[in-house]
Amino acid sequence: MKIIIPYRLKSSRFPNKYIKKFIGKSLIEHSIELGQGLGDVILTSPKEDYIDEISNLHTKYNFEFIPTSINCKSGTDRAIELSKKIHDDYYVIIPVDEPMIKKEEFQRVLSSELDDFNMCYTDFYNEEDCHSKLSAKIILTKDNYLLYMSRNVIPIQKNGLFDYKKCKKAVGIKVFSSFGIKQIYDEKTELDLIEGLEELKLLELGHKVKMHKIKHFGYGVDIPEQLESLEKRYYENQ
pTM exceeds 0.75, yes or no: yes
What's the pLDDT tens digit per position in 146-167?
A: 999 999 999 999 998 899 999 9
Chain centre to alpha carbon of residue 102? 13
Is the pLDDT score of 46 beyond 80? Answer: yes
Percent pLDDT > 90 in the chain is: 86
Domains and CATH numbers, the chain: 2-233 (3.90.550.10)
For 192-218, what is the mean pLDDT? 94
Is the pLDDT score of 186 beyond 80? Answer: no
For 58-72, what is the mean pLDDT? 95
Q: Which amino acid is at 211?
A: M
- pLDDT at position 160, please? 87
Q: Which amino acid is at 111?
A: S
Report whether 87 contacts 178 (CB < 8 A).
yes
CB atoms within 10 A of CB 75: 23
Is the pLDDT score of 214 beyond 80? Answer: yes
Euclidean distance between CA atoms 189 and 11, whole angstroms: 22
- pLDDT at position 3, please? 98
- pLDDT at position 237, please? 86
